[in-house]
Amino acid sequence: MSLKIKRFSLAAGILSASLLLTTACSNNTSGDNKSDGSKDEKIVIDLFQGKVEIADQLKALTDQYTKENPNVTFDIQTVGGGADGAAALKAKFASGSAPDLFTSEGYQNAQTWKDKLEDLSDQPWVEDALENTLTPMTIDGKVYGQPINLEGYGFTYNKDLFKKAGITELPTTFSELEAAAKKLKAAGITPFAVGYSEWWVLGNHGLSIPFAYQEDPDAFIKELKEGTAKIDGNEHFNQYFNLLDLTIKYGNKNPLTTDYNTQVTLFATGETAMIQQGNWIQPMLDKLTPDMNVGILPMPLSDDPAVANKLAIDVPSNWVIHNGAPDADKKAAKDFLNWMVTSEEGKRALTEDFKYIPAFKSIKAEGVGPLGEEIAKYSQAGKTYSWQFMKYPEGGGQEFGATLQSYVGGQLSKEETMKALDSNWAKFNK
């Protein structure tokens, strides 16, 4: 599978689960405490990650590595929730207990943390990475992170409920999506599971779409930084509010108090037909409703299928190693990362257990689940938008999310919200 996506340059966190690293304090270990990492030495790798969806699977994978390497164990801390995870990670660095192995979404974040990251350019997996997947963590020709996977998002939908509502043609444009929502409602089915208590659903994933629709997203963002472009009055941002309004009109009650877990549960239990999320929810769906008949649709702003029929697909996060960790820990962490993407057990776990779309040529996208398979097809067809929220000024995504929550709650009009988004950008633009 080749990665056919536009490239970009970044800032902000995934979500849901990938962590935004905001400040750093060194956890440098003195030379007296470092070791050569001999096989007899007991090593504990402190691992910090933010994807609650794969917490159990990651524990099982590290246990398997320990089984094969008895001198190495893992102390895993999983903190999800975007800002909560970022704050927890910041606190660990500030307290002098920085993890050995953690995650970064790259680009602006990688630049911010460059001085704390181990150079991984010489690692065996570098040559195996799919085209462009190393870009987020490459600075001055050096690679500082291992791409975890590819992810894509849009409107994940329940195929059985679509069939029940008589939807025979999948909606790929805004008008078609609106028509589908009306059919679902007429059939007594709530069209959308809306979880807008999560700022990243709005500020990152949602708002990324109108950024991606710009003729040249990089140029538009450069102009925003220079103060020569505005969100207010931009056609594609105006279209995004139409899509946002559609999800609210045809969504569950109380969207601002519906969190991520509740949103996914509403969808997984068949109470709603669609959910704005991506293939990362596949393990949760498998646990809640095994063999659920699902697919994924774009988040269309336009009625032009050539523009609208694309999914947002990218590298969501990267494994990074703290360069201030003890030498033995760094050596073991590097070996674990290499084992994870080259061993048969590691490759099987990433696809079958994690349901990850692999970022490496030697790992086939098999057993990743129906969502991963459909996203892989969109990627192979080149029907993709890159994740523009990774270009936001650091801290901007959460502010955008809060502003959009005020719109959803009726405190701000559309015009006031777009002006506020411009103010948000200016506030964090440095």
What DSSP letter does each residue of 352-389 carry, written as one string? Answer: IIS-PBPSBTTS---SSHHHHHHHHHHHHHT-EE--GG
Pairing of strands 101-104, 318-321: antiparallel
8 domain residue, yes or no: no
Residue 375 in domain:
no
Is the residue at 233 inside a domain? yes
231 and 129 together in one domain: no
Distance (Å, rounded) from C-alpha 425 to C-alpha 430? 10
Does one domain contain both 309 and 217?
A: yes
Q: Could you give the dihedral angle defined by the CA atoms of residues 91, 95, 98 and 103, in that order, rounded to the nearest 10 degrees?
A: 10
* Pair 265, 280 in one domain: yes
pLDDT digits (tens, 9 = 90+) for 25-65: 334 433 333 344 455 689 999 999 988 889 999 999 999 99
416/287 same-domain check: yes
Domain that holds residue 159: 151-313+386-428
| Band of pLDDT at residue 81, cut at 50, 70 and 90 | low
Question: 256 and 181: one domain?
Answer: yes
Specify whether 218 is located in the same domain as 350. Answer: no
- The answer to whether the pTM exceeds 0.85 is no
Q: Are residues 411 and 322 in the same domain?
A: no
Instruction: Note whether residue 309 is domain-resident.
Output: yes
Please give the span between the terminal C-alpha atoms of the chain, in angstroms, as a whole number: 38
Q: Is the pLDDT of residue 86 over 80?
A: no
pLDDT tens for 331-360 read 999 999 999 999 999 999 999 999 899 999
Q: 103 has which bridge partners?
A: 319
Residue 101 in contact with residue 32, Cβ under 8 Å?
Answer: no
CA dihedral of residues 148, 150, 154, 160 (deg, nearest 10) = -100
Using the predicted structure, report yes or no on whether residue 17 has a pLDDT greater than 90.
Answer: no
Question: 306: pLDDT confidence band, cut at 50, 70 and 90?
Answer: very high
Question: 391 in a domain, yes or no?
Answer: yes
Q: Nearest Cα to 371, choosing from 429, 299, 295, 259?
A: 295
pLDDT in tens, 230-266: 999 999 999 999 999 999 999 999 999 999 999 999 9
Residue 297 and residue 161 in one domain: yes
Alpha-carbon torsion, ordered 108, 111, 113, 118, to 10 deg: 130
Could you tell me if 247 and 393 lie in one domain? Answer: yes
Domain count of the fold of the chain? 2
Confidence of residue 109 (pLDDT cuts 50, 70, 90): confident
Closest among 196, 214, 193 to 205, alpha carbons compared: 196
Chain centre distance of CA 181: 26
What is the average pLDDT value for the chain, to the nearest integer?
Answer: 89
Tokens at 139, concatenated = 């600075």
**What is the share, in percent, of the chain residues with pLDDT greater than 70?**
90
Q: How many residues does the chain have?
A: 430
Domain contains 248: yes
Asked if 252 contacts 273 with a C-beta cutoff of 8 angstroms, the reply is no
Q: Are both 162 and 145 inside the same structural domain?
A: no
Residue 115 lies in a domain: yes
In this prediction, residue 186 carries a pLDDT of: 98
- Asked if the model's pLDDT at residue 1 lies above 70, the reply is no
Q: What is the CATH number of the domain that holds 50?
A: 3.40.190.10
DSSP 158-226: EHHHHHHTT--S---SHHHHHHHHHHHHHTT-EEEE--TTSHHIIIIIIHHHHHHTSSSHHHHHHHHHH
CB 279 within 8 A of CB 357: yes
Task: Classify residue 374: in a domain, yes or no.
Answer: no
Q: Are residues 265 and 328 in the same domain?
A: no
Regarding whether 197 and 132 lie in a shared domain, the answer is no
Range in 54-58, 107-111, 146-150, 215-219 the model is least confident about: 107-111
pLDDT-based confidence at residue 87 (cuts at 50, 70, 90): confident
Question: Greater confidence, 294 or 18?
Answer: 294
Q: How far apart are alpha carbons 385 and 152 in whole angstroms? A: 9
Torsions phi, psi for 301 (to 5 deg): -105, -20
Identify the helix (H) or strand (E) that includes residue 146. Answer: strand 146-147
Q: Comparing C-alpha atoms, which of 280, 250, 284 is closest to residue 267?
A: 284
